[in-house]
Copies of this chain bind each other. A is one copy, B any other.
């Protein structure tokens, strides 16, 4: 028997997992490599950051998700380089891994527009570690303020600046306002958590530019009701420890978070030269890399403009469908058939603001407010990976809703140590 074709998938996010699943009944051996041992349901990362959910509620080990799949192995490693000529990927540990077909779903990180030094002061929200670090910083800020005598320093500790008015920024600002105004109320003695200042900055003319105007306005009103200061049309021109320059104004803030800009993970450079300005790979209609028919790119790292003339957005649904299409095309090549072009079916767009307000755009239907929130809840729980998570998350949200409490407000890693 001839050796089976070797298919290597880089990344265990939405695209990588759906690619792996699509190859379940294909005669090949699959290797999936990720730098973390778990898949994260990224749209809910901000809920971990604001202490509404536990890491275990939105993440599952990749091995566990794929445990029933035959002829598949999972490697925990960092991919340092792709060598398309030798058809191997080079890891930070262990031997290089050869492939016959490669599906790269390594995603994106934040772009600091040339100011990479800002990343230390204003980190993003891409991993569980980011979320736990943010949670720790936020909770410790309230604790420190409680012990603080100077009103000026109390104000500084309780000022939060979120840079970037896309869904992540909006959801994070809303959740932060909610924990300060409701969950922590009355638990502190020397400070009033409700006095916390939350500023959401967007360089463009409006928050949530991907949504239609009526829903954007609804989101704006919801944020205002929660007391979030929204600054649009004002770019951030400097970020330093404890201070942000927003247009003409200098704001002193203990916690600064970045939710703007997109830059492909660096291994996209090995798949050039067809890269867009963010380093994403400009792919063929079948998601393959120009000149490399055995390499496909799916998810946030792919720049796919063949359908609408502009790149598809970096959302979970695009990633899942691209991952499945890339794998299906690998299966076709293995079977000696030509590949098929990718076609995205848009299921709609959603964002949530605080406890019971959200906006949802399904093209034919636009909803906001409480109904939007129920829909958002339903869709997100539906797509959560793993049955346990779904049950547990539903239970916790029900409790949080009834009690207004954040149940997992735990500061780990020796805060006062």
Contacts and interface: CB of A to CB of B under 8 A. Distances in A.
A179 B60 CA distance: 16
B407 A60 contact: yes
A63 B64 CA distance: 36
Contact of A415 (B76, B149, B411): B76
A325 to B, nearest CB: 27
Interface stretch (A139-147, A302-310, A366-374): A139-147
Interface in A47-104: 54-57, 59-61, 63-64, 67, 73-78, 92-95
A36 B93 contact: no
Contact of A61 (B186, B409, B415): B409
Interface string A169-205: 0000000000000001011111000000000000000
A132 B407 contact: no
Given A37-B411, A412-B129, A388 B396 contact: yes
B391 A395 contact: yes
Give the contact-size bracket for chain A.
35 or more
Contact of A143 (B37, B139, B409): B37
A49 to B, nearest CB: 13
Contacts of A56: 54, 407-408, 410
Contact of A412 (B78, B128, B144, B189): B128
A59 B410 contact: yes
A22 interface: no
Contacts of A127: 414
A109 interface: no
Of all A-B residue pairs in the complex, the 4 with the closest CB atoms, nearest first, are A56-B408, A73-B189, A76-B143, A94-B147
Given A55-B408, A64-B405, A392-B392, 4 more contacts: A63-B184, A64-B187, A74-B189, A132-B412
29 contacts: A35-B415, A35-B416, A35-B417, A37-B139, A37-B143, A38-B410, A38-B411, A54-B408, A56-B407, A56-B408, A61-B409, A63-B184, A63-B187, A63-B188, A64-B187, A64-B409, A67-B187, A74-B146, A74-B189, A76-B143, A76-B146, A76-B416, A92-B416, A93-B144, A129-B413, A129-B414, A386-B407, A388-B399, A389-B407
